[in-house]
């Protein structure tokens, strides 16, 4: 039988993957594929998942987890020069990238869709010496995912992010940032900036005009406005009308440079990102994906 490497995160979401392993193995066996599992461990780098990967032995990499797990796998593969297609089983707290690609949240349905598909290429984001699949961000609230306790996320899901976000409200302030790109230059204050390869963050549909294969990243900057203007802006976000607001800077680009001296962090797919300054670019067709609808 041909082999498929399954890399699964037992801590993702509500630990759903643990009860689905036999189903995953059975579906693949019926398709003539042997699952070779690797369990992610906190005390061991994910690079060890690829120690047995040799040319021609594996059909693809199957990743079970959220956006952060997919991000970690993609970065590890890039470092080791592994260019196999990946399939995603969305079992994390946030599964924004798989949702963008049209992958079912039902594990059995996702397996069958992946097995019955042909690999297609989608864009990949690059930020300094790292890669991101869905979104890179900086500004207020961008480290909420990093600060949220894993056990709390597993217990109450996405609500844990919102509760953690409320704790960050005392830190609410304008942030000075300088952005340089061919399309737009900005030197001013903002609250939040997101650079999307995907479309959603925390299930909020923010990059409504994103395309997975256009070779461009969607940049959204929420400018520092008066407090009373925030609620109308949030309503526009809920309606998907925020990209045309004068309180928001939106543009597409394949490359941008960001400078910031504020005491803030960056985030890539829910994990801590690199320090400023940032050089961000889009790698057109940089990722081979199975199961895309």
**What gap in Å lies between CA 4 and CA 119, rounded to an integer?**
14
Greatest C-alpha distance within the chain: 62
- Asked about 59 being catalytic, the answer comes back as no
**What gap in Å lies between CA 40 and CA 24, rounded to an integer?**
17
**What gap in Å lies between CA 24 and CA 190, rounded to an integer?**
45
Give the tokens for residue 179: 């952005």
The continuous run of DSSP H or E covering 152 comes out as helix 150-156
In order, the DSSP letters of 51-116 are TT--TTTEEEEEEEE-HHHHHHHHHHHHHTT----EEEEE-SS--HHHHHHT--SSHHHHHHHHHT
Nearest to 268 by CA among 82, 120, 28, 68: 68
**What gap in Å lies between CA 278 and CA 287, rounded to an integer?**
21
Using CA atoms, how far residue 132 sits from 70, 112, 281, 292, in Å, is: 9, 26, 10, 18
If you ran DSSP here, which 8-state letter would residue 33 be given?
A: E
**What gap in Å lies between CA 46 and CA 49, rounded to an integer?**
6
The active-site residue out of 14, 57, 262, 271 is 271
Cβ neighbors of 166 (< 8 A, separation 6 or more) are none
- Catalytic residue numbers read 271
């Amino acid at each position: 039988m041909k082999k498929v490497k399954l890399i699964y995160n037992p801590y993702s979401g509500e630990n759903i993957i643990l009860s689905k392993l036999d189903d995953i193995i059975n579906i693949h066996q019926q398709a003539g594929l042997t699952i070779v599992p690797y369990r992610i461990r906190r005390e061991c780098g994910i690079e060890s998942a690829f120690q047995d990967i040799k040319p021609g032995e594996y059909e693809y990499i199957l990743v079970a987890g959220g956006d952060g797990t997919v991000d970690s796998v993609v970065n590890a593969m890039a470092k080791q020069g592994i260019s196999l297609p990946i399939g995603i089983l969305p079992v994390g707290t946030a599964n924004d990238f798989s949702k963008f690609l049209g992958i079912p949240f039902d594990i059995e349905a996702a397996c069958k869709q992946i097995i019955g598909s042909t690999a297609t290429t989608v864009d990949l984001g690059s930020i300094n010496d790292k890669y991101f699949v869905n979104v890179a961000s900086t500004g207020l609230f961008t480290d909420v995912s990093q600060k949220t306790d894993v056990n709390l996320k597993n217990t109450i899901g996405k609500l844990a992010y919102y509760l953690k976000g409320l704790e960050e409200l005392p830190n609410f302030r304008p942030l000075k940032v300088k952005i340089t790109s061919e399309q737009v230059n900005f030197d001013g204050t903002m609250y939040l900036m997101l650079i999307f390869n995907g479309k959603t963050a925390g299930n909020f549909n923010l990059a409504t005009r994103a395309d997975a294969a256009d070779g461009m990243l969607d940049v959204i900057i929420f400018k520092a406005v008066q407090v009373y203007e925030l609620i109308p802006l949030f309503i526009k976000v809920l309606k998907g009308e925020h990209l045309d607001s004068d309180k928001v800077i939106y543009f597409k680009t394949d490359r941008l440079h960001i400078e910031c001296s504020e005491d803030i962090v960056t985030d890539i797919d829910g994990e801590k990102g690199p320090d400023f300054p940032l050089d961000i670019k889009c790698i057109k067709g940089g990722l081979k994906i199975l199961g895309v609808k």
